[in-house]
Structure 1
Amino acid sequence: MNYLKKLLIDWLIFLLFCLFMFLFLFAEEIKNISIFSRIPTSFFNVNTIFLSIILEAIPFILLGVFVSAIIQSFVSENAIRRLLPRNAYLAIIPAALLGIVFPICECAIIPVIRRLIKKGMPSHVGVVFMLSAPIINPVVYASTYFAFKSTPYIANARMVVGFFSSIIIGLIIYQLFKRENILKDRINRHHNHNHHHTKGNRLLETFYHASDELFDTGKYLFIGAFIASLFQAFLDRNVLLSIGTNTILAPGVMMGFAYVLSVCSSADAFVASSFGSTFTEGALLAFLVFGPMIDIKNTFMLFAYFKKKFVLYLLLATPIIVYLTIFIFQLIFL
């Protein structure tokens, strides 16, 4: 029964994607048909936005699943343990800086973190890496610096706020889930294969794991992108702009906006800079820090791979800590 349900969901998602591709390719022809001419433009915008999110995220998803598969095939549990300090608190600091060496965006990070935790990385360390890597990495720093050429300190502020926020959230997760397994029990379709540790078989095993991961992750990306595109197409942005200068409300609004837009962290700085004349710098920072940590599309992926209790605590702790960190940063520096 569960298999049939899963198969039905997979086919529905595939048909939805085919429908969006059809609308994208033949949108103008459809608009010219009299019966469809009265359909509001917003409905066609949903299609365009959905595909733009998918096309932007897919390369990074592919990167993420292959990194995850390589970790599964070539990285041992002992190697993970040797890389990190044994002290639970000291291990958090290098975890927050791993993105400098492994510049992975939020579209790709979740399958990688799941694999690392399965290999022996402490859960709270994995959470810190998951939250910080999409922000504290050279690609994101460069894109933020170029997007805010007139105010380059925004790029530095983004790194600093992201660093401290991820560490605080990691400490909270450590206190809540010290000895708990936060991963869902998932059955790997290829776990019964006899994988001998030869180079050829390890490469084959890598592709097996990558294909499994891609199909599992891809469907949740599609669901998240669809919901995000609905919000983007029908949300009245004028309401948001009217409170852009309020130092109390604006950061929260921009965090909500970042969650809905689900823009990849390597490109979100250019979106944020377009609001520079309307929103406070603190609000722009909130957008730049919170969005890469949690958005609609990776929320679905989190629920797919992690236990519900953990995800709910993470979804509660992250916006609160980011907002408070931004608020304190505003008081001191802005």
Structure 2
Amino acid sequence: MAAALVLAGGSLLAHPGVQAWRTVSVAIVIQALPFLLLGTALSGAINAFVPADAFSRLLPRKPALAVPVAGAAGVVLPGCECASVPVAGSLIRRGVAPAAALTFLLSAPAVNPVVLTATAVAFPGNPGMVAARLVASLLTSVIMGWLWIRLGRAEWLRLPARGGGHTAGNSRWEEFRLGFQHDFLHAGGFLVVGAMAAATFNVVVPGSVLDAFSGSPWLSVLFLAGLAIVLAVCSEADAFVAASLTGFSPTARLAFMVVGPMVDLKLIALQSGTFGRAFAVRFSSATALVAVGCSALIGWWLL
């Protein structure tokens, strides 16, 4: 019996479909791992070494002006989406306008240098995809910040009582080590799951099903946007997953990369725990709609 099981397992592993699945999974993880390491290291360094009041000193006092500045800050200040929620809560607690903090929450994981570099590596010879991701993500975050100023209500946002920042008794290097270790292991798990899901998607899903979605410009965008929400791949690695989805249009793959760092299942859970369920439901739904719209617009323009 045991020998039969071993032989069956060996024949299963030798199956061309399983070998293709394994190849795609490993390739995605290997390509993305250096950027995940760099991104989580930079995020941990910012959390441990940047003063807590640095953002409030740099942002304009008027929320309408602070929103685009906070969005642009995401271009130079790396942060993974797992850390963006507690960072935004810490900013609000320290007096930063909620609209600006929420804009930074969306932009930092989506447009930072590590993510843009990873996108350039994942899409070699296609600088338009990097530019499209930058513009669409930045536009989405700024629009959401302005929408919060216009339509947001204080009762929707449960202000965090604590979180983020330097912990008394820990050295800065100790906080960096702990933060890096936590973020890397957490995001690395999602990377592996995302790579396996993407490989399964490429190997198992029949071509006829893909054709039903990829053949329609709008259905393909909506399908990959929904896939990004479910897969919850970290932003440092999602470009490699998107690049593997070769049956879809560039605009649809752009939507995957714009929606994912801003709205996914783990982020919705984090937002619910930090700011309350009423906020998470409204903010995530609105962000997904704005992100899909911006992706379609920028993809039509640049891709």
- Identify the TM-score tier after normalising by the shorter chain: 0.7 to 0.9
Higher relative contact order (CA 8 A, sep 6+): 2
For 1:229 and 1:111, how far apart are their aligned partners in 2? Answer: 26
Letter in 2 for 1:237: V
Report the equivalent of 1:177.
152
Q: What SS is found at the alignment partner of 1:243?
A: helix
The 1:32–1:271 alpha-carbon spacing in structure 2 relative to 1, beyond 3 Å, is: farther
2:273 corresponds to 1:273: no
Q: What SS is found at the alignment partner of 1:293?
A: coil
Q: What SS is found at the alignment partner of 1:104?
A: coil
Judge conservation of contact 2:228–2:256 (CA < 8 Å) in 1. yes
Judge conservation of contact 2:268–2:281 (CA < 8 Å) in 1. no
Q: CA deviation at 1:65?
A: 5.9
Offset from partner CA, 1:185-215 (integer Å, 9 cap, x none): 4699x99xxx6xxxxx5x5599589969988
Judge conservation of contact 2:190–2:233 (CA < 8 Å) in 1. no
Alignment of 1:297-316 (within 5 A): 297-316=266-285
Judge conservation of contact 1:225–1:296 (CA < 8 Å) in 2. no
For 1:58 and 1:32, how far apart are their aligned partners in 2? Answer: 41
Report the equivalent of 1:133.
108
Offset from partner CA, 1:56-93 (integer Å, 9 cap, x none): 9798667646644556xx434xx543211111111111
Report the equivalent of 1:152.
127
Judge conservation of contact 1:68–1:210 (CA < 8 Å) in 2. no
Alignment of 1:178-197 (within 5 A): 179-180=154-155, 181-185=157-161
Alignment of 1:97-136 (within 5 A): 97-136=72-111
Judge conservation of contact 2:115–2:236 (CA < 8 Å) in 1. yes
Report the equivalent of 2:143.
168
Offset from partner CA, 1:232-287 (integer Å, 9 cap, x none): 687663334541131111111111111222222222212212223x1111101101
Q: CA deviation at 1:183?
A: 3.0
Alignment of 1:53-132 (within 5 A): 64=43, 67-68=46-47, 70=49, 74-76=51-53, 79-132=54-107
What TM-score do you get using the length of structure 1 for normalisation? 0.67
Letter in 1 for 2:60: P
Report the equivalent of 1:253.
223
Letter in 2 for 1:117: I
Report the equivalent of 1:12.
none
Q: What SS is found at the alignment partner of 1:158?
A: helix
Q: CA deviation at 1:296?
A: 2.3
Letter in 2 for 1:154: M
Report the equivalent of 1:294.
263
- In structure 2, runs of 5+ residues without a counterpart are none
The 1:280–1:231 alpha-carbon spacing in structure 2 relative to 1, beyond 3 Å, is: closer
Aligned length, in residue pairs: 283
For 2:116 and 2:184, how far apart are their aligned partners in 1? Answer: 27
Q: What SS is found at the alignment partner of 2:217?
A: coil
Q: CA deviation at 1:331?
A: 4.2
For 1:94 and 1:237, how far apart are their aligned partners in 2? Answer: 43
The 1:186–1:158 alpha-carbon spacing in structure 2 relative to 1, beyond 3 Å, is: same
For 2:76 and 2:88, how far apart are their aligned partners in 1? Answer: 15
The 1:227–1:87 alpha-carbon spacing in structure 2 relative to 1, beyond 3 Å, is: same
Letter in 1 for 2:108: A
Report the equivalent of 1:24.
none
For 1:104 and 1:139, how far apart are their aligned partners in 2? Answer: 9
What TM-score do you get using the length of structure 2 for normalisation? 0.73
Q: Which moved more, 1:123-132 or 1:139-148?
A: 139-148
Letter in 1 for 2:271: L
2:250 corresponds to 1:284: no
Judge conservation of contact 1:106–1:298 (CA < 8 Å) in 2. yes
For 1:124 and 1:307, how far apart are their aligned partners in 2? Answer: 16
- In structure 1, runs of 5+ residues without a counterpart are 1-30, 196-200
